[in-house]
Structure 1
Amino acid sequence: MIEVGSNVFWRGTLALVIGSFMVFANVYVTQPLLPMIAKEFNISPLQATASFTITTLTLGISLLFYGPISDAFGRKGIMVMTMVGITLTTLCLSFVQSYESLLLLRGLQGFFLAGLPAMAVAYLGDEYTPEALMVAVGLYISGNTLGGIGGRLIGGFVGEWLGRASTFGVMSVISLICMTAFIILLPKSQGFEPKPLRVSHIVSNMLGHLKNRRLITCYFIGGFSFFIFINQYSYITFVLEEAPYHLSSKYIGMLFLTYLSGTLGSAISGRLAKRWPQPNIMVLGTCILMLGSLVTLGGSLWAIILGLLINSFGFFLCHSTASSFVSRNAKFAKASASSLYLVFYYLGASIGGYYLDPFWRADGWLGVVIGSWIVLVLVACAGVSLIRLNKSQSN
């Protein structure tokens, strides 16, 4: 097993951080391009947004596929295959001439993008010691935040400079570089034990995970935290477009630089888990997210930025800890357990906006914060119940 601080630990962890950056940069690169896509293909903003949401949709659905497949056939080979698929679809996107083709490729890309997130934590669970796992997961998820920031910045700045098609061309080159580094750096699997691939076993594993009180509580915490966190960003853009801020789309897009505090939160989560039980850290992260939401009510632009920085730190502290907790507490089929966590995670992102919309229409940003607190209080309560469950089962 790989120990914390060893050369192979840093090689493997760096490989997964680079892979994570590649995946999430490709997921989010289209967000700043949406107005350009709408204009180029003469479609509505709502239609243009589908070029982003179809990717997250197919990504979420595909997670259920990759977990069982990797439990049967291994992790590294399948992760590499999906990264090849990401690079090729990104390159093809630079040549599309119709919106239908773009939409089809983005949907296909979502299928490939699911591969690494579905298997990365399971790979760490196979190869790393429990202590090394906690540290590595935090660093790996920091790659998620860097990818989210990097993808939006690449899309915004390269898109404005070279246009939509060239942006995908640049992204395909970056993807190729990341994929090459990943293949070279990631150690071969040594601790993987294959399981038979049977549909009955897959269904049984999924049901088994859902019956595990520790796991289902953790799924709830991760899913509903993201449910609030990612959709707050959507509504704050409407606030900042209006008086007294009047920010342009370029500067609103730079709000995602506040994800950098989330990179820090993810990176230190493993170290904190050496001192305190992981459920305690999930509750701490949720409470920090609640605090940041309140700070945004200060009214000034600086208060909003500070609140978003606090939110990002708290959310990613909670999320990275929950991801590690799932891998450590899955009694079997670790990749399936991690995939199921991410299904809850992306499902939360997909439906959170619908929940917050009535609060937004009723009382603007104050309503969004109130709606957020209602859910986050329930998430914190779930975390407290996980603390008690953890204590009772460890005694």
Structure 2
Amino acid sequence: MIEVGTKAFWRATLAMSLGSFLIFANLYFTQPLLPMLASEFGVSPLTASYSFTLSTLMLGVSLLLYGPLSDALGRRAIMLTTMVGAVGCTLLLSQVHSFGALLALRALQGFFLGGLPAIAIAYMGDEMSRKALVSAVGFYISANSLGGICGRLLGGFLADTLGWQMGFAITGALSLVLLGVFAWLLPPSQQFVRQKLHPKQMVRDLVGHLKNRLLVVSYAIGGLNFFIFVNQYSFLTFRLSDAPYNLPARYLGLLFLTYLSGTLGSALSGKVSARFSQPVVMMMGIGLMVVGTLVSLGESISVIMLGFLFSAFGFFLCHANCSSWVSHNARHAKASASSLYLVFYYLGASLGGTYLAPFWHHGQWAGVVLGSLIILALTFSLCLLLRHWATAREGALVSN
């Protein structure tokens, strides 16, 4: 087993962090480009957003496939194969001349992008001691958010200075270099034990999770919060690219630096949940999202950014506790329970733009705020329901 501080530990941890960075940089690359793509291809904001949401949709669906496949075929081979496919799609995107081709490649890319997130923790769990795993996962999750931030920054800057097609070409070339380093650093699997595929058991596990009300409600909370949170950024790019702001893509990418407050929210989530029950911490996070959404109604860019700092902190505070809640309350097959949470999470990201589009069409940013508050009121209510069930369960345990 790989132990903390060894050469193998740092090689594996750096490899997984670089891989995570690559995946999420490529996933979120198009988000600051939405106004540019809408103008280039003459499509609506909602249609332009499909270049982002189709990728998240396919990523979410693929998570159910890659985990079981890796149990039977091996972790390393699937991670490398899918990452090659994802980078290949980025390079091909630099050559497209129609919006339909762009959407098709982004959907295919999303399917490939799911390979590493679905398998990464399982690979580290196979190869590392428990102490090493805890340490490595912290680096890995940090690379998730950094990859998303840098992908958006790079997308905005490259597209604004060299054009969106050249932006894909340069990102693809950089990703190819990172992929080579990933393949060189990642230690071969030593502890992996091949298992047979059991499709019927997989289905039974998933059905069992969907019958657990404590899990289903937490799936809905995580998915619906991301449904709003990530798509607010998409519509914000249209708001700030128009008068009176007229921000170019390079500055729109900078908006996503507000995600850094979310990194802090995730880091503090454990300490906060040590003092309050997890449903209460989730409600705190959603409350901060509500505050941030209302603050974003301000006219100045600094006030808008402040609002999104609040929202990002609150979202990740809730998300960290929601995903932890799933692990604690799954009665069996905890890995598939967590995978199912991520499926709802990414499905939320892919569908939220369609929900918010009519609000944007009829009320611009004020409409988006209204649509957001409706969903946040729903997720807050679901947290109250979780708190009631958890309290009732604890009371039953005490009485017994």
Q: Same fold (TM over 0.5)?
A: yes
The residue number in structure 2 matching 1:28 is: 28
1: distance between equivalents of 2:280 and 2:16? Answer: 26
Residue range with higher mean Cα deviation, 329-338 or 104-113: 329-338
Report the TM-score when normalising by structure 1.
0.82
Q: How does 1:54-133 map to 2 (within 5 A)?
A: 54-126=54-126
The residue number in structure 2 matching 1:311 is: 311
What's the secondary structure of 2:197's corresponding residue? coil
* Residue 380 of structure 2 corresponds to residue 377 of structure 1: yes
Query: Aligned pair in 2 of structure 1 residues 353, 167: CA closer, same or farther (>3 Å)?
Result: closer
Q: CA deviation at 1:88?
A: 1.9
What's the secondary structure of 1:140's corresponding residue? helix
2: distance between equivalents of 1:80 and 1:328? Answer: 31
Q: How does 1:7-46 map to 2 (within 5 A)?
A: 11-37=11-37, 42-45=41-44
Residue range with higher mean Cα deviation, 170-179 or 323-332: 323-332
1: distance between equivalents of 2:144 and 2:318? Answer: 14
Query: Aligned pair in 2 of structure 1 residues 340, 174: CA closer, same or farther (>3 Å)?
Result: same
2: distance between equivalents of 1:124 and 1:221? Answer: 28
Q: How does 1:150-165 map to 2 (within 5 A)?
A: 150-165=150-165
Q: Over the residues paired in the alignment, what is the CA RMSD in angstroms? A: 3.6
Query: Aligned pair in 2 of structure 1 residues 21, 92: CA closer, same or farther (>3 Å)?
Result: same
Q: CA deviation at 1:26?
A: 0.9
The residue number in structure 1 matching 2:247 is: 248
Query: Aligned pair in 2 of structure 1 residues 373, 282: CA closer, same or farther (>3 Å)?
Result: closer
2: distance between equivalents of 1:270 and 1:217? Answer: 21
Q: CA deviation at 1:226?
A: 0.6
Query: Aligned pair in 2 of structure 1 residues 376, 139: CA closer, same or farther (>3 Å)?
Result: farther
User: Number of paired residues?
Assistant: 393
Q: CA deviation at 1:116?
A: 1.5
Could you tell me which amino acid in structure 2 is paired with residue 64 of structure 1? L
Q: CA deviation at 1:236?
A: 3.6
CA contact 1:119–1:338 (8 Å) conserved in 2? no
CA contact 1:229–1:315 (8 Å) conserved in 2? yes
Could you tell me which amino acid in structure 2 is paired with residue 208 of structure 1? G
What's the secondary structure of 1:120's corresponding residue? helix
The residue number in structure 1 matching 2:221 is: 221
Residue range with higher mean Cα deviation, 16-25 or 379-388: 379-388
2: distance between equivalents of 1:129 and 1:394? Answer: 34
2: distance between equivalents of 1:272 and 1:6? Answer: 32
Q: CA deviation at 1:309?
A: 0.8
Q: What do the CA deviations read for 1:214-234 (whole angstroms, capped 9, x no partner)? A: 433332221122122112223
Could you tell me which amino acid in structure 1 is paired with residue 373 of structure 2? I
What's the secondary structure of 2:95's corresponding residue? coil
What's the secondary structure of 1:172's corresponding residue? helix
1: distance between equivalents of 2:385 and 2:191? Answer: 33
Q: What do the CA deviations read for 1:34-81 (whole angstroms, capped 9, x no partner)? A: 4554565x5424554433333223222222221221233333331122
CA contact 1:236–1:365 (8 Å) conserved in 2? no
2: distance between equivalents of 1:94 and 1:210? Answer: 41
Q: CA deviation at 1:23?
A: 1.0
What's the secondary structure of 1:119's corresponding residue? helix
Residue range with higher mean Cα deviation, 45-54 or 103-112: 45-54
1: distance between equivalents of 2:4 and 2:290? Answer: 33
1: distance between equivalents of 2:270 and 2:16? Answer: 16
CA contact 1:356–1:371 (8 Å) conserved in 2? no
CA contact 2:269–2:320 (8 Å) conserved in 1? yes
2: distance between equivalents of 1:131 and 1:388? Answer: 32
Could you tell me which amino acid in structure 1 is paired with residue 103 of structure 2? L
CA contact 1:122–1:327 (8 Å) conserved in 2? no
Query: Aligned pair in 2 of structure 1 residues 393, 329: CA closer, same or farther (>3 Å)?
Result: farther
What's the secondary structure of 1:95's corresponding residue? coil
Q: CA deviation at 1:357?
A: 5.1
